[in-house]
Amino acid sequence: APAAAPAAEETKEQLHARLASLINAQPMVLFMKGNPGEPRCGFSRKAVAMLQQVDAQFGHFDILTDQAVRQGLKEYSNWPTYPQLYVKGELIGGFDIIEEMKEAGELKDLVNEAAA
């Protein structure tokens, strides 16, 4: 897992650089509460389950371990809630979007795109 925030206060620029690094760490990254083996909220658990159902290979980041990321990503992405799914550095959306894509049969396409 990525290292926790440094003890010194980050500038907004430093935080945004760190967020960009986390978002781009893998082709598909889920920012969630907890981790895939132990989700800490129902929406995160359901998002993980939907991704696993389409055999997604995805990285994850537990926002509960890092308040700077938890608050900063909301501003960075202009998306107020978690989980947040990113593919190739682009915000796909939260739980509702993941669910809509799965129901429409588009989630598997997104997974394939991420793996390409």
Question: Over the stretch 51-88, which tens digit does the pLDDT of each residue have?
Answer: 999 999 999 999 999 999 999 999 999 999 999 999 99
Alpha helices, DSSP H only, in 1-116?
12-23, 42-53, 67-77, 95-103, 107-115
Contact 97, 85 (CB under 8 A): yes
**pLDDT-derived band at 95, boundaries 50, 70, 90:** very high
Place of tokens 């894509």: 101
SS3 call for 65: helix
